[in-house]
Structure 1
Amino acid sequence: MLKSERLHVVDHPLSRQKLAVLRDENTRQREFRQAMRELALVLVSEAARRMPTEAVRVNTPLAPTEVHRISEPVCLVPVLRAGLGMLDGALALLPEATVGFIGLFRDEETALPVEYYANLPRELERYRVMVLDPMLATGGSLSATLAKLKDHGARRISCVSAVAAVPGVERVLRDHPDVDLYVGVVDPELDDRAFIVPGLGDAGDRLYGTL
């Protein structure tokens, strides 16, 4: 089993339940989308645990009191297209977050990432960045995404994935040892097409019905 202080496997009864739905080949598109959104709620909640907060004073209906709010701006970055399946869940918890986008597809012959779109906020160094990508397979796409974000100034980055594979985790931790990974489960291997085994299939196809 992989061990790293940067790898956080969110082993929670709710994450197990949502993964059970996502892994099942008989799960219909509507239920798959809902389970991905709900799993994102669990994973993002854990990924936000280390966000700094600041004390502020508010008035309740009965008396003044001190409360705590997240003290840094947050930027969510779904990796297109599958990352969009986690965005609604993340925004439900972080509704004031800025959203940037990075579009990558995997060349089916080389399994290498190809960037086709990027739209990121200015002054990215101000933000605590959270990357949303359901599948961490070879790690190539996520590593390229992280390099792109760092080129734009990002310094505090975490990544949220539903399912990861050992080779992908090893690749990302090697290329970006300063980044935290929050995953629902780590599967042992990839097949000859670089798909996670047992995994849950192609998350984008199952989310958007392009099977």
Structure 2
Amino acid sequence: MTDHLTIVDHPLVQHKLTQMRKVDCSTGKFRRLLREISLLLAYEVTRNMDMTTETIDTPLCKMDAPVIAGKKLALVSILRAGNGLLDGILELVPSARVGFVGLYRDEETLQPVEYYNKLPKELGERLTIVVDPMLATGNSSAAAIDLVKQAGAGEIRFLCLLAAPEGVARMKEAHPDVPIVTAALDERLNEKGYIVPGLGDAGDRMFGTR
């Protein structure tokens, strides 16, 4: 763990990730595991949120009880695979505002191409969590965070299932102020820009389009 990168090594996270990596993991099982693991990762990425207190009545007395401060947090999914993490986090934080950034990777240049951008209002007053299962080259993630910052976001965190060293380095270079939370830091990228050992294309495996 560093200030920039947090690897969630909880046994449940690691066990579920291993099941997802298996080549014979079915689409339905992959989707279910991703939802389950996203709940556990959400616990870590929402750590250290600003808190305040409000006076409430319990069945016995009044008390000053802790609550999350400020406007509701914002979640930004990098389409399409980010939606797999998004669904699980929304179970934990159903009142979160949600935005979407559509980027696809040019297979020749490995650079991101934007095709959709719809973000919540008042991002400058919200903790914004950008989600995408795979941090590979880091180009798409860095581009998405560029767009989120242009929309006014100040406090941003990035949540992914798997990261490659190349992607972590790219993100640290482009956005040193954005901490990364992930379940695993894998070995490297292959010549096509896929994470090794990885788990293949998360979107294809989630939606059954492989």
Residue deviations 1:35-77, cap 9 Å, x none? 1111111111101111111111222233323321111320000
What is the aligned partner in structure 2 of residue 14 from structure 1? Answer: 12
What is the aligned partner in structure 1 of residue 171 from structure 2? Answer: 172
Distance (Å, rounded) in 1 between the aligned partners of 2:43 and 2:2: 20
Distance (Å, rounded) in 2 between the aligned partners of 1:80 and 1:173: 22
Distance (Å, rounded) in 2 between the aligned partners of 1:69 and 1:6: 26
Alignment of structure 1 residues 126-205 onto 2, 5 Å: 126-205=125-204
CA RMSD of superposed structures (Å)? 1.0
Alignment of structure 1 residues 1-211 onto 2, 5 Å: 4-72=2-70, 73-211=72-210
Distance (Å, rounded) in 2 between the aligned partners of 1:62 and 1:27: 50
Distance (Å, rounded) in 2 between the aligned partners of 1:185 and 1:129: 22
Tell me the CA shift for residue 200 of structure 1. 0.6
Aligned length: 209
| Identity rate, percent | 44
Counterpart of 2:94, as a letter, is P
Counterpart of 1:28, as a letter, is S
* SS in structure 2 of the partner of residue 138 of structure 1: coil
Distance (Å, rounded) in 1 between the aligned partners of 2:199 and 2:51: 36
Instruction: Mark the runs of 5 or more structure 1 residues left unpaired by the alignment.
Output: none
Per the normalisation by structure 1, the TM-score is 0.96
Distance (Å, rounded) in 2 between the aligned partners of 1:182 and 1:118: 23
Per the normalisation by structure 2, the TM-score is 0.96
Distance (Å, rounded) in 2 between the aligned partners of 1:54 and 1:45: 19
Moved over 4 A (4+): none
Counterpart of 1:135, as a letter, is M
Greater mean alpha carbon deviation, residues 52-61 or residues 142-151 = 52-61
Tell me the CA shift for residue 88 of structure 1. 1.5
Instruction: Mark the runs of 5 or more structure 2 residues left unpaired by the alignment.
Output: none
Greater mean alpha carbon deviation, residues 131-140 or residues 104-113 = 104-113
Residue deviations 1:104-151, cap 9 Å, x none? 111111111111000012222111100110000000000001111111
Distance (Å, rounded) in 2 between the aligned partners of 1:170 and 1:42: 25
Tell me the CA shift for residue 157 of structure 1. 0.2
Distance (Å, rounded) in 1 between the aligned partners of 2:6 and 2:26: 29
Distance (Å, rounded) in 1 between the aligned partners of 2:23 and 2:61: 53
Counterpart of 2:204, as a letter, is D
Distance (Å, rounded) in 2 between the aligned partners of 1:132 and 1:43: 11
